[in-house]
A and B are shown apart, each in its own frame.
Chain A
Amino acid sequence: MASNPVPDHVPPEMVRDFSLFTSAGMLPTPNGDPHAAVACVHAGPPIFYSPYNTRNGRGTWVITRAKDQRRVLQDAETFSSHRSIFASVLGENWPMIPLELDPPAHGIFRSLLNPLFSPKRVMVLEPVVRERAIALIDRIAASGTSCDVMKDFAFPFTVNIFLGFLGLSDDRLDIFVGWANDLLHGDDVKRPAAARMIVAFIDELAAMRRKEPVADFMTFVVQAEVEGRPLTDEEVRGTGVLLFVAGLDTVAAAIGFDLAYLARNPKDQDLLRSEPDRIGLAAEELLRAYPTVQMIRVATKNIDFEGAPIRKGDYVSCATMIANRDPAEFECPNTIDLAREDNRHAAFGYGPHRCLGSHLARREIVIGLEEWLARIPGFRIKEGTAPITYGGHVFGIENLILDWS
């Protein structure tokens, strides 16, 4: 790395050899702990420049303190989200909605979608989510004393809930899991191919729902109005694609990291199994310790930010896994304390783009853990296997073979 030219306005002493993509522990690593690896940045300056910190190798400023990340993310006027990351994989340029819109347009779409994902709405969805978790885990329990949590539970669970939102049955579940996988881990051929399939699928579904409305998310989107007009085809697509991209691997990875932690910490595992009331609080601590998303913003003007000469067009990275290990914000940030109180972690971001699916994600994680612990006896990582973890734009875990024989 470091072959990337550093822009002239970046003082050389502010450049650090750190990257969420290429630093130690970021590439797929057996038994890795990418979150602990990035926590090391807190030994250094609060803000620095990383010459290689996006998937396509761009440099970014790295904001390490939670307090500074809040300032960046709450100020959408100075730090814009307008990037077309997904579309650029296809060589196109349309925004995922609402993720890549800025206020005021952002707020119009957020207001439209918020009621669908509000805490109260999620309470209504809860029985369905629980039923799906139970069905999957019962099948795993009945078929042996070992499984790959990612393949057999985490992904089918989250894809299933996504399909439920879209009013679709499970028969295409494997295809969706494949797309999600290719989009995440695929090479330069597989990624755009998967992206194209997802776009085609969303376009086709939108067309179907326009012809024959049913009671589901896509029907809501094609019938919705913003500012007295229906959504354009591009807006419908941007909204549908984001739901696919945002909700699958994030929740699956959270469940994977959580169960990996519990497999390695049998005392905590036993405690949560015998006192399931603790799972809600524990899930928050695990979201703090193992968050998955790096947020990137683009500076819309020159600004001197906490000593960093940020110039218009610079990328600014706010990685939740870094904010969540900030010693100024969390006491003993690298200690996982499942009873931690006042846990104002950044896993779902700050500011107007706060994760739209956060209430649903929280319920999926808590329900997944509750039902898993209630149905699977004491489990550990299967001997001779090693979960492979990775860093990058979205942190994750590829495989998690558990054994309860």
Chain B
Amino acid sequence: MRIIVNHATCQGHARCWAQAPDIFKLDDEGYILPGDINVAEGDELLASRGAQACPERALEIDRTAAAPESVFIQSRV
């Protein structure tokens, strides 16, 4: 799973961060760091809760993307 971050739409409500501070990282002003977020396998529920908490609809959930671990494992096989 991947979270698509529409950085320009973020207004620093920090509701995503309040749900999952380790997944949604904020800058010093309290706005989300730019760049999409690859979600680790065990973090999917937390990450989707965080994405759904955004009042501005700046976070989009992409369930088609593989979690980073599985990509890693696949690439090793």
A residues neighboring B (CB under 8 Å): 70, 74, 110-111, 114-115, 117-120, 342, 344-346, 348, 350-352, 354, 358-359
- Which stretch (B10-18, B36-44, B67-75) binds chain A? B10-18
> Number of A-B pairs whose CB atoms are under 8 Å?
53
**B54 closest partner in A (C-beta):** A344
A348 to B57, CA, bound (A): 15
B32 to chain A, nearest CB (A): 11
Interface size class of B (residues with CB under 8 A): 20 to 34
Chain B positions 12-67 with a Cβ under 8 Å from a chain A Cβ: 12-15, 17-18, 26, 28-31, 49, 52-57
List residues of chain B with CB within 8 A of the CB of A120. Answer: 26, 28, 30
Contact B29 A114 (CB under 8 A): yes
**A362 closest partner in B (C-beta):** B18
Contact B11 A119 (CB under 8 A): no
Task: Using known A-B contacts A111-B29, A118-B29, A119-B26, determine if residue A354 contacts B53 with beta carbons closer than 8 Å.
Answer: no
**B56 closest partner in A (C-beta):** A350
List residues of chain B with CB within 8 A of the CB of A354. Answer: 11-13, 56
B53 to chain A, nearest CB (A): 7
28 residue pairs A–B, Cβ–Cβ below 8 Å: A70-B56, A110-B29, A111-B29, A114-B28, A114-B29, A114-B31, A117-B30, A118-B26, A118-B28, A119-B17, A119-B18, A119-B26, A119-B30, A120-B26, A120-B30, A342-B52, A342-B53, A344-B52, A344-B53, A345-B55, A346-B55, A348-B55, A350-B11, A351-B56, A352-B11, A354-B13, A354-B56, A359-B14
List residues of chain A with CB within 8 A of the CB of B57. Answer: 70
List residues of chain B with CB within 8 A of the CB of A117. Answer: 30
A359 to B31, CA, bound (A): 12
List residues of chain B with CB within 8 A of the CB of A344. Answer: 15, 52-55
B36 to chain A, nearest CB (A): 21
Best-surrounded residue of B9, B14, B18, B30 (most CB of chain A within 10 A): B30
Contact B15 A114 (CB under 8 A): no
Best-surrounded residue of B14, B17, B55 (most CB of chain A within 10 A): B55
List residues of chain A with CB within 8 A of the CB of B11. Answer: 350-352, 354
A358 to B56, CA, bound (A): 15
B34 to chain A, nearest CB (A): 15
List residues of chain B with CB within 8 A of the CB of A352. Answer: 11
Choose one: B13, B18, B52; the contact of A348 (CB below 8 Å): B13
A304 to chain B, nearest CB (A): 23
**A119 closest partner in B (C-beta):** B14
A286 to B2, CA, bound (A): 32
A346 to B11, CA, bound (A): 13
Contact A115 B26 (CB under 8 A): no
List residues of chain A with CB within 8 A of the CB of B56. Answer: 70, 74, 350-351, 354
